[in-house]
Structure 1
């Protein structure tokens, strides 16, 4: 599983370093590759702290700073907020969780609601590419069938991505997967029981772990659970008319290959699906 490749002390995040933080004028403190891991001494490391003002008071967000009266249950799931990381127990320093992958050049929460892990769910909905006679399309070079996925174009950074979203407090991930696909790729359109049944049949687990998201900070980061829901015959969701939701600029069925540029480390997650389906890459 991909989780074996994305683990503390081995994987170096890229997207969340050495840049201006999104929707702000805050510049991250430079973090060269050799200083990403906390185990390496970085003398003089002094990242700015930033938490977006609009987060304050939101029902889905933590308090500005933990206090004795409001002490989160770090590394636990209290059935309201899941603060467990897929990568094991994370460290608490100066009363705040420490990003298990390493330094990002920014402390605080940025645009994220929770201190520590912020859990999301990503439904990778796929079908086989077919011609106008409903025959499989085979790639001329690899000789393998071409896989297509439902991809949304994010409104925040304009990159194409898996149509996922945040897991609500106390919500089962399976519910999140169906809800986010409906919101992001169908724009709440009523498709009868077909979508309900398609997701009820279950997906294949692909990945659970850290996401190299541009919003990550030293104290708050994204983690996701990704499942592949495959329409083998192309007669279920493969026939749906897609409609972009509020958080997406566009949505489409897109061919999957090594040249596809996606948000965060979504391409790495998708490559696991390609290998599992023995599709062209």
Structure 2
């Protein structure tokens, strides 16, 4: 993996804390590079220290089966086998129905549902953690509903119709745009984010694209946004949108 795809994971301070990372230059990202001076801090996010049900115990208190299906938890990486050192996994060093065409490119302009994350204030594609044994499509529908529709002010009949339309969309054949490592500011040497990004495309023009979105508990704001290369988004999300736009032959 090139240093260019490992930037936000080397941000100076761990998100939501005052703890500073050990600075890692581009030529020292790979573990094969000899660097005896490397001495990173031992950091655990405050949310994990509260021991939520989804968090692992401290290494040493249990023996996880890395690079394998560990009970109901899949500890395999989409990128292939990763190293284990001193009982810990290693990644890189810490470190509406009518189409609108763009006036310059003359290509169709796509829109996507974007949420403003509460933890960092950055705009992002809706998503979340896959529960043990859960299918990716189930996770995507659940997280979309929680983040974009949870606080929707609608009558019971309207809400039922909306949920029906959402279920139809997420039960359709989504297009997998990416699977693997994500350049995420929460990454550490021993724990990193991986994702599966799937594009569920609505061509009907009178269903999901007309939803009156409202943010749920997991999002500060939610909005339909035109896909464009100038957007500033969380982690690798802009790359996912670029792939969608090119695959759909749309404006970028």
The counterpart of 1:184, out of the listed 147, 151, 161, is 147
Equivalent residue for 2:134? 171
TM-score of the pair, normalised by structure 2? 0.91
**1:95 correspondence with 2:66:** no
Residues 55-90 of structure 1: CA deviation (Å, up to 9, x unaligned): 2432101011234xx211110113511100001000
Residues 205 and 228, structure 1, Cα contact 8 Å, conserved in 2: yes
1:11 deviates by 5.5
1:52 deviates by 2.8
Give the whole-Å Cα distance in 1 for the aligned partners of 2:250 and 2:174.
Answer: 17
Task: Report the aligned-residue RMSD.
Answer: 1.6
Residues 21 and 215, structure 1, Cα contact 8 Å, conserved in 2: yes
Give the whole-Å Cα distance in 1 for the aligned partners of 2:98 and 2:59.
Answer: 57
TM-score of the pair, normalised by structure 1? 0.82
Residues 15 and 186, structure 2, Cα contact 8 Å, conserved in 1: yes
1:188 deviates by 5.9
How many residue pairs get matched? Answer: 243
Greater share of strand: 1
The counterpart of 2:65, out of the listed 51, 73, 76, is 73
Residues 243 and 251, structure 1, Cα contact 8 Å, conserved in 2: yes
After superposition, the Cα gap between the structure-2 partners of 1:261 and 1:18, relative to the gap in structure 1 and judged at 3 Å, is closer
Structure 1 unaligned regions, length at least 5: 1-7, 106-129
Equivalent residue for 1:23? 16
Residues 208 and 223, structure 1, Cα contact 8 Å, conserved in 2: yes
Taking the TM superposition and a 5 Å limit, the aligned residue runs for 1:249-260 are 249-260=220-231
Taking the TM superposition and a 5 Å limit, the aligned residue runs for 1:2-17 are 8=1, 12-17=5-10
Structure 2 unaligned regions, length at least 5: 153-158
Give the whole-Å Cα distance in 2 for the aligned partners of 1:91 and 1:257.
Answer: 37
**1:148 correspondence with 2:111:** yes
Equivalent residue for 2:179? 208
**1:235 correspondence with 2:206:** yes
